[in-house]
Amino acid sequence: MVKQLAENLYTFPIRLPNSPLKWLNCYVVKGGPGERDLLVDSGFDKPVCRADLFAGMEELGLRPENTDVFFTHVHVDHTGNGMALARRGCRILMGRTDYAVLCDSPWSRQIWHMEMDGMPRSEVERLIQINKRSGIDVMYFPAETLDAGEELAYGGYRFRCLLLPGHTAGHMCLYDRERSVLLLGDMVLFDITPNITNSGMDGLDNLGMYLDSLDRLSAYPARLALPGHRNWGRVSLEERIEELKRHHALRLSEAEQIVERHPGISAYGTASRMKWQIKAGRWEEFPLSQKQFATGEANAHLIHLVRLGRLRRQEDEQGFITYWK
């Protein structure tokens, strides 16, 4: 199941059960004699993911005490096995901003904000129970932090850490210009659109940051542009960047039109009226986790529209947030 992509560069899939992402692409750079090896991203904190992770490491002859692990961003499908790897003796490296997020804001706490975005309290409470049971809370692990522009050298590669926020506040990609290799994490995916999400309360414009990051990414051409999930090769990175920009432009108009027709609507209400590519037909039938992602996506678009001056955001005395043309 391990595939070689270039000299000293390998990948293997880690299955992500019950996730529409299907699998994570784990990347490995083998160091030369006497050098350390690098592994990028790790899957959920689940037995299936760990089995795939450790089988891949074994096939490649990685010894934990000689392995550095880099996490592109804080999401649990990437960092889930941070503690398992650290316990076995790996050294963990991660961008400073997302590591700070991991250390001080558990996922459950963020879910409470959903109520201020219009999700009924009964659904918020059930969502927290579901997340607790499925163990997808972000778990703490020790790591050394990296800043933008720092270099990671392994197996003849010199990867620069590119800080490209939007998908998360501190998402990082690794880029080797000379070898024309770019490890994308979830910055650009080719088969699906990376989730860009906001809470109405966090005061950030994640979509705005993401669109800026897409523009900045154009300055890093790569023969091998390798995504954190699914396949690549259907279109070039440049073409995919353009597709993603068009996708968000359409979504922005869609959200704007919904608010125009329903003044004073919440992010949850907007999400319920947007079109989604999901098997469940009606909003009422969406699994709660998908309602959560959809509300977050709607918010990212609404907040960006507010930033652009195309919509108005209003917060009432109880903290409930609504949007107006």
Binding-residue pattern over the window 228 to 257 for Zn ion, x denoting contact by CB under 5 A: x-----------------------------
Q: How far is the CB of 282 from Zn ion (least distance, A)?
A: 27
Binding-residue pattern over the window 152 to 191 for Zn ion, x denoting contact by CB under 5 A: ----------------------------------x-----
Q: Reduce the secondary structure of the chain to three states and give it as a string.
A: CCEEEECCEEEEEEECCCCCCCEEEEEEECCCCCCCEEEECCCCCCHHHHHHHHHHHHHCCCCHHHEEEEECCCCHHHHCCHHHHHHCCCEEEEEHHHHHHHHHCCHHHHHHHHHHCCCCHHHHHHHHHHHHHHCCCCCCCCCEEECCCCEEEECCEEEEEEECCCCCCCCEEEEECCCCEEEEECCCCCCCCCCCCCCCCCCCCHHHHHHHHHHHHCCCCCCEEEECECCCCCCCHHHHHHHHHHHHHHHHHHHHHHHHHCCCECHHHHHHHCCCCCCCCCHHHCCHHHHHHHHHHHHHHHHHHHHCCCCEEEECCCCCEEEEC
Q: How far is the CB of 309 from Zn ion (least distance, A)?
A: 29
97, 146 contact by CB (below 8 A): no
Task: Please give the structure tokens belonging to residue 229.
Answer: 């999930």
Phi, psi of 6 (to 5 degrees): -165, 180
Q: Does 77 bind Zn ion (CB under 5 A)?
A: yes
Q: How far is the CB of 172 from Zn ion (least distance, A)?
A: 12
Contact window for Zn ion (CB under 5 A) among 221-229, 259-267, 289-297, 308-316: 221-229
Total residues interacting with Zn ion, rule: CB under 5 A: 4
Identity of the residue, 24 or 321, whose beta carbon is nearer to Zn ion in the bound complex: 24
Q: How far is the CB of 284 from Zn ion (least distance, A)?
A: 27
Identity of the residue, 77 or 205, whose beta carbon is nearer to Zn ion in the bound complex: 77
Q: How far is the CB of 229 from Zn ion (least distance, A)?
A: 6
Q: How far is the CB of 78 from Zn ion (least distance, A)?
A: 6
Q: How far is the CB of 74 from Zn ion (least distance, A)?
A: 8
Site for Zn ion in 103-122 (CB under 5 A): none
Identity of the residue, 169 or 267, whose beta carbon is nearer to Zn ion in the bound complex: 169
Identity of the residue, 30 or 75, whose beta carbon is nearer to Zn ion in the bound complex: 75
Of 30, 36, 46, 75, the one binding Zn ion (CB under 5 A) is: 75
Site for Zn ion in 18-47 (CB under 5 A): none
Contact window for Zn ion (CB under 5 A) among 74-82, 199-207, 242-250, 254-262: 74-82
- What residue ranges bind Zn ion (CB under 5 A)? 75, 77, 186, 228
